[in-house]
Amino acid sequence: MQLYNTLSAEERAQLIDEAGQQRLTLSFYAYAKIEDPKKFRDDLFIEWNKLDALGRTYVAKEGINAQMSVPAENIEAFRETLEVYDFMKNIRLNVAVEQDDHSFLKLTVKVRDKIVADGLNDETFDVTNIGVHLKANEFNQIIEDPNTIVVDFRNHYESEIGHFKGAITPDVETFRESLPIINEQLKDFKEDKNLVMYCTGGIRCEKASAFFKHQGFKNVYQLEGGIINYAKQIKEEGLESKFIGKNFVFDHRLGERITDDIVSQCHQCGKPCDNHTNCENEGCHLLFIQCDACKAVMENCCSVECQEIIHLPLDEQIRRRRGVSVGNKIFRKGKSDKLKFKHSGELSDVSLGSAEKPTAIRQKIKIKKTLLGKVDHYYVKAQVGLFIIENGDLKTGDTLLISGPTTGAETVVISEMQVNGTAAATASLGDKVTIVLPFRVRLSDKIFKILD
């Protein structure tokens, strides 16, 4: 019985491109009492794997929290896998504003103590006594009331690129940090103010609203379905968007545009920008905002120090990381003294620029291609790339597509090549191939042969 992924992210991406099917990125959550989260997890994985559903899901005794990518043609079958459980009958699926077929490239369903790390003891208050749910139109009306306090229950790196006008945006890195801060900050307004809260998809507010009602707040409201559902409703109903900028999302896209306003800056040069990236140095992996110009100059790095490290041999990079940190502990969320234009906490509602109209998040790949291997080395001075053929064969006259997070997608026609150190016209499985390249490539960039 298969309860794990059998394909790498790269192999999955290739299959998605070759299939040419539209996929829908969506999210959902439900609080419910689950007696056996392990069995629940296994059952979901088996059923979702049959439907080619990908994504990241957490299950716990308190419920489920999921972000998924599902083939559009399987969406009803996917819903059926949920509705066999009574607590997910007619569950709302928050479909993303912008679609990307590569938003998720593997399926993970993990058992956790909680579906959101809130740091709360659920036994001390009634978690079902939640705030009043507001639809987009109702939300727009109540936040215009001078008696209303609007609170963003997301983290600093989320609110920085987009938020509701006039909202309190705590300078925090985790949801659990924001709860005591807001409780202390608003302690004098429990009786007479409307406490209106929002988050990405609604799940954080579901618990937070019950917590604040327990703390004595009389008028507690929450945005139904979060920013994702709000964006959908304002588009369908032709409403004014009180949200400005981008909505941060936790998949490959790292954000979906709600309005054309850019309210944040490149953390390195200060240019209006709201595109997040992760530092290319795996020993840093800092999440920060970087414009295209700085991306090119800094090679996707957050600092000169990290830029120097990525040019070291891979074994040296690994040696430097050894014993320092591992896995998710490496990941840091936008806090570094080297970022000169980082803003947190009280954020401006003033637009710094306007986003260019995108043609599409990801164009469907019309050409057929096959994966040959990946870049093994790049000789900077000679502008020569080395790779080992791991699949198929190659001959002069073939066209290669070389792609990676920093390189982008570049093509080159093979006019001549060295195979195992000797000039040759053909290469096959296991051969070491070197070719002159008119552009720079990076270690582990994928190399595809374009098929006729």
Active site positions, annotated: 199
| Cα–Cα distance list, 201 to 28, 53, 247, 261 (Å) | 8, 20, 10, 21
Task: Region of 345 please: left (phi>0), alpha (psi -120 to 50) or beta.
Answer: left
Q: 15 vs 45, 92, 117, 341, 451, CA distance in Å? A: 20, 29, 34, 40, 15
User: Residues 448, 375: contact at Cβ < 8 Å?
Assistant: no
Q: Is 187 left (phi over 0), alpha (psi -120 to 50) or beta?
A: alpha
| Rounded-to-integer distance, Cα 288 and Cα 283, Å | 15
Strands 63-71 and 54-60: antiparallel
**330-367 in b/e burial notation, b at 16+ Cβ within 10 A?**
bebebebeebeebbbeebeeeebeebeeeeebeeebee
Total residues belonging to the chain: 452
Q: Where are the alpha helices (DSSP H) in 20-84?
A: 37-50, 75-83
C-alpha–C-alpha distance, residues 391 and 444, integer Å = 15
What residues pair up with 152 in beta bridges, in sequence order?
Answer: 198
